[in-house]
Amino acid sequence: MVNPTRLIKSFKYSLKGISKVFREEQNFRIHTLATLAVLLLALYFKITILEFIILVLLIGWVLILEIVNSIFERLLDLIKPRIHGYVEDIKDMAASIVFIGACVSIVIGLLIFLPYIIVKFIK
C-alpha cells in the first residue's frame, strides 16, 4: 500500500535535488532555458502531438544526462586527494555524453522545426 507521507517526502527530495542542480550547475540552467525556448516554439508553430512527445522525451533525456554528469563529477571530487589521470578522463567522458545527447536533440529539433519555419517565413 502507498504511504502518502513517504510519497510526499520522496517528491520533496526529488525537487530538492533538481533545485540544487539548477542552482549549482550552469549547463543545467542553459538546458532549462533551451527547454523553455523549444516549448514556446512548439506552441507557436502548433506542432503535432507526436512531434511534441518526441521533443518532451529529448528534453527529459538531456536534463537527465546533465544530472547524471553532475553526479559523476561530485563522486569523482570525493576522491580528489588521490587524483589520477583517469578522474579527468572520466569527467570529460561524462561531459561528452551530455554533449552528444544535446547535439542529437538539436538535430532532431531542427528536423521537426525547419519545415514549420520554412512554411512560415519563406513561402
pTM score: 0.88
What lies within 8 Å, CB to CB, of 50 at 6+ separation is none
pLDDT in tens, the chain (123 residues): 889 899 999 999 999 999 999 999 999 999 999 999 999 999 999 999 999 999 999 999 999 999 999 999 999 888 876 667 788 889 999 999 999 999 999 999 999 999 999 998 886
Handedness of CA 83, 31, 102, 50 (dihedral sign): positive
Domain 4-121 has CATH 1.10.287.3610: yes
Provide the residue ranges of all domains of the chain, joining segments of one domain with +: 4-121
